[in-house]
Amino acid sequence: MAAPTKIKRIGVLTGGGDAPGLNAVIRAVVKVAIREYGLSVIGFLNGFGGLIKNQARELTEKDVVGILPRGGTILGTTNRDNPFHYPVVKGGKKVFVDVSDRIFENISIHGVDALIVIGGDGSLAIAKELYAKGLAVVGVPKTIDNDLLATDQTFGFDTALTTATEALDKLHTTAESHHRVMVLEVMGRYAGWIALAAGVAGGADVILIPEIPYRIEKVIDMINQREVQGKKFSIIVVAEGAKPVDGELVVQKRVEDSFDPIRLGGIGHVVAQQVEEATGKETRVTILGHLQRGGSPTAFDRILATRYGTGAVRLVVEGRFGHMVCLRGTSIDAVPLTEATGQIRAVPLESDLLLSARQLGICLGD
């Protein structure tokens, strides 16, 4: 099948945090665009920054050989460089301006007919604005946090979940041998998907997520109760965004460590200290940090990413701009960017995953 006469050349970029599967999307976009539709593809480097600064590279089939199993992105990515709020230095001080026109210039310089933006809520929101301004754009949802609206799952999540679950498997053996409490801090600043799913998959005793402010007494009760039952160790999974009912402590902590909870270990260490003081049990903390963003994507993520990439090219040739590919049950579908951004998808309190966790006897801190 040939593409609509007007589409001859596609641009693609990866924005926001790194996620396993980005290369699989790029590979699918390039292969399908070239083989199936006879289009050419250009990649913009380091997210929207490359579109603004006109940093780009032609992408041929040769460029995507062997990248399917690799983590990271051959195009580079960044959390910064919002074209509608771009930092420039004026009169010696930093101000933020709208440089989105540069994007339209560079798009036309490269003769790009449509742009595929692979990114999370931030990048897709920018894509939405660019579409509103007249750019032919299609989105691909990406985040290891799995907190995007309008899709059943994002690629990268399954790999991050797998990394966290393998960590719990390892901590189990040593916690058991040493009669210790092990705290694993995982990503999830606003949604607890990784913590909840990994906690269930890894047999955690306590799972603390942002959606459910916790009472430390509940956590301590759980550990003491297990002690009484002869279970002399416990495993606690904490999402980096988890907070106590009285959130002061953490808010203050965030300030101290310049808003980067990863830097000083953040909430994981707070919980560990409180538990150790209250129970007298040796408590140890592991912070997975960026391990969760790295590594070869799981089979699930490679397939989802490949289907997303293929589906995005289809949206382009069908001229369905301003849409994002998404997963609905077992099918790939499309949804308007306006419905997909601006809000995160928290763990629903009535979800059966959460219910299953409760019924298994896992403490959720409430």
122 labelled ligand-binding: yes
215 binds a copy of itself per the rule CB under 8 A: no
Return the structure tokens found at 294: 């790295």
Positive or negative: CA dihedral 118, 123, 127, 133: negative
Identity (one letter) of the amino acid at 235?
I
Give the integer Cα–Cα distance in Å for 145 and 131.
25
3-class secondary structure, 159: helix
# residues contacting a copy of itself (CB under 8 A): 89
Q: Is 345 annotated as a binding residue?
A: no
Q: Chain-centre distance of CA 262, in angstroms?
A: 16
120 is in an annotated binding site: yes
CA distances (Å), origin 259, targets 91, 255, 282, 320, 329: 29, 5, 28, 39, 37
Vertex 241: Cα angle to 227 and 239 (nearest 5) = 45
Place of tokens 């540069």: 102
**Tokens 């606690």 -> residue:** 236
329 is in an annotated binding site: no
Question: Does 158 show up as a binding residue in the annotation?
Answer: no
Of 133, 132, 205, 131, give the one whose Cα is nearest residue 168.
205
Q: Mask: binding to a copy of itself, 12-31, rule CB under 8 A, as x and -?
A: --x--xx-x-x-----x--x
Question: By CB under 8 A, is residue 265 in contact with a copy of itself?
Answer: yes
Our finding on whether 182 is near a copy of itself (CB under 8 A) is yes
Candidates 216-224, 242-250, 322-330, 334-342 — which segment interacts with a copy of itself by CB under 8 A? Answer: 322-330
Near a copy of itself by CB under 8 A, which window of 4-12, 63-71, 209-217, 335-343? Answer: 63-71
Does 71 participate in binding a copy of itself (rule CB under 8 A)? yes
- Which stretch, 114-122, 130-138, 171-179, 209-217, contacts a copy of itself (CB under 8 A)? 171-179
Among 58, 98, 101, 169, binds a copy of itself (CB under 8 A): 169
Task: State the catalytic residues.
Answer: 145
Interacting positions 133-152 with a copy of itself (CB under 8 A): 152
Between 134 and 177, name the residue whose CB sits nearer to a copy of itself: 177
CA–CA gap between residue 122 and residue 48 (Å, rounded): 11
Residue of the chain from 100, 163, 234, 341 that contacts a copy of itself (CB under 8 A): 163
- 349-361 core/surface letters (b: 16 or more CB in 10 A; e: else): eeeeebeebeeee
Q: Does 306 bind a copy of itself (CB under 8 A)?
A: yes
> What track of x and - describes contact with a copy of itself for positions 346 through 365 (by CB under 8 A)?
-----xxx-xx--xxx----
Least separation, in Å, of the C-beta of 291 and a copy of itself? 5
Q: How far is it, in rounded angstroms, from Cα 122 to Cα 32?
A: 26
Q: Which residues are annotated as a binding site for ATP?
A: 17, 80-81, 120-123
Q: Which residues are annotated as a binding site for substrate?
A: 143-145, 180, 187-189, 240, 284, 290-293
